[in-house]
Amino acid sequence: MLFLKNSRIIYYKYRVNKYVFSVFSRSSNTFNKNENILLPLQQKQIEEKWKDVIVDYSNENVLHNARSHEKKYILSMFPYPSGNLHLGHVRVYTISDVMARFYRMKGWKVIHPMGWDAFGLPAENAAIERGVDPHEWTKSNINSMKNQLKSLGLSFDWWREVATCDPDYYKWTQFIFLKLFQEGLAYRKEAIVNWDPIDQTVLANEQVDENGFSWRSGAKVEKKVLTQWFIKSTKFSKDLLKDLSDPHLKNWKDISTIQKNWIGDCNGYVIEMRLIDSNNKLIDSFSYLPVWMSEPEYLTSIGFLSVKSDHILNTESHIDYSIDGFKVLNIKAVDPISKRLIPIIVNVGAVDEEVEIQVGLPHLRERDHQICEKLKLAIPQPIIESEKKILREQIITKLKEINSGGYECSSVLKDWLISRQRYWGTPIPIVYCNDCGTVPVPEE
């Protein structure tokens, strides 16, 4: 770099690999706001001439000029193809571009991809309003935004470009779903869900604000009973919580704290119980009842399970009888180990808001004992307190063996609802057969 102290013209020269870049500046080290160094036409001509050369140089540098074995993967969030860039896009992609160029100039092998988060409600709604196919609408927007990004001279690896609406991409989403399904980590059941009356679709809990309104449409969210697909994310809550303490996240404590609060303390275990109806037949529409227990060793001592008044099981058709405000249901939960039938009741007073299903232990709590006597429910034998530790280990081990829970989880985290009642999204690779039930689509 050459700096002329007694002159108003400052000359900078930088050498990067075999290319030399020069920058001129007037009035000390900044451009005078009243001076036009280049006329708009000149600027456009220069940019048009060199933009393709810059892209070719970037490609050549990535593929051939890496001098180090060091690698860096720089991923900025793929944009939703709305059709137009805004300053938020420019900010995010300028930052990632600076990082990519920095490491390339150091000789590192850099992956700096670009793609399109192309599925979703906004694209489908916009296409419906215009009377066009969502695929054509999305494709047109992608082409428009791609040209805008290229005009900024950003050094993306365009040969790695992906769009989540392309079958070549979402087949891998479907592949992952099938693997989860095979391992019992994807399941289907009836559930009370959040329903957006404007967008006509189900919303995950995370898509509803604290006042009960949809995060996107702003509509007041309704409650509906629908059969939905879930991912058993609760099974991994302990690992998720543990990894949030990774030293690599030390500069992201605010984000990791939010995530930890969302997961909650993993201070209990989930026990998955099947349900039977009044004819002692398994209820297939309800995969299982997730019962959270801080002390699973008391499984054999459960006198009843109580659900909230807004629980999906609390319907007129499920009520067997009522006594003093308590409802006893005609369906029962099945202890997955002993196969003992456990009564289910509704509205037993102040139920812990964090726990969807509360466990009644009559030999430990006087109130639970009184409820059993009032409702004429059998009181099971208590466990031997000195054997609690051994009994806990045995029960957890057995639950895992028979794939009925036994994993550590918090009392607040729920499984992830992934169903959406819309066309423009990844198709769930399941065939619904009247004779065979739910059948996974063959991978081939």
Give pLDDT tens digits for 100-151: 999 988 888 899 999 999 998 778 888 888 899 999 999 999 999 999 998 8
pLDDT at 13 over 50: no
pLDDT over 70 for what percent of the chain?
86
Q: Judge whether 152 and 95 are in contact, CB under 8 Å.
A: no
Is there a domain that residue 395 lies in?
A: yes
Residue 2 has pLDDT above 60, yes or no: no
Which residue range(s) make up the domain with 133? 38-165
**Between these two residues, 206 and 397, which has the higher pLDDT value?**
397
Is 254 inside any structural domain?
Answer: no
Same-domain check for residues 192 and 318: no
Residue 349's pLDDT is 59
Same domain, 220 and 99: no
Average pLDDT, the chain: 85
pLDDT digit string, tens, across residues 237-278: 999 999 999 999 989 999 999 999 999 999 999 999 999 998
> pLDDT (tens digit, 9 = 90+) per residue, 344-382?
999 755 555 667 899 999 999 999 999 999 999 999 988
Statement to judge: residues 157 and 101 lie in one domain: yes
Answer whether 306's CB lies under 8 Å from 358's CB.
Answer: yes
Residue 9 in this model has a pLDDT that exceeds 70: no
Q: Are 176 and 142 part of one and the same domain?
A: no
Has residue 21 got a pLDDT over 90? no
The CATH number of the domain holding residue 104 is 3.40.50.620
302 and 403 in a single domain? The answer is yes
Per-residue CA distances from 259 to 1, 108, 237, 262, 408 (Å): 47, 33, 11, 5, 17
> What is the tally of structural domains in the chain?
4
**Residue-level pLDDT at 1:** 41
Q: 133 lies in a domain? A: yes
Q: Which of 165, 184, 203 is the last residue of a domain?
A: 165
Q: Is residue 357 part of a domain?
A: yes
- What is the band of 226 on the pLDDT scale with cuts at 50, 70, 90? confident
Domain assignment present for residue 244? The answer is no
Shared domain check, 192 and 131 = no
The C-alpha atoms of residue 28 and residue 30 are separated, in whole angstroms, by 6
**Does the residue 381 lie in any domain?**
yes
265 and 410 belong to one structural domain: yes
Domain stop point among 165, 196, 222: 165
Query: Using one digit for the tens of pLDDT, what is the confidence trace for 43-84?
Result: 778 877 877 776 666 555 555 566 778 899 999 999 999 888
Residues 20, 49, single domain; the answer is no
Residue 296 within any structural domain of the chain: yes
Same domain, 268 and 381: yes
Most confident of 173-182, 245-254, 303-312: 173-182
CATH code for position 325: 3.90.740.10
Query: How many Å apart are CA 331 and CA 342, to the nearest integer?
Result: 9
Q: Please check whether residues 210 and 153 belong to one and the same domain.
A: no
Of the residues 129, 144, 165, the one at which a domain ends: 165
Statement to judge: residues 130 and 42 lie in one domain = yes
Same domain, 92 and 142: yes
Query: Would the pTM count as exceeding 0.85?
Result: no
Tell me, yes or no, whether 305 lies in a domain.
Answer: yes
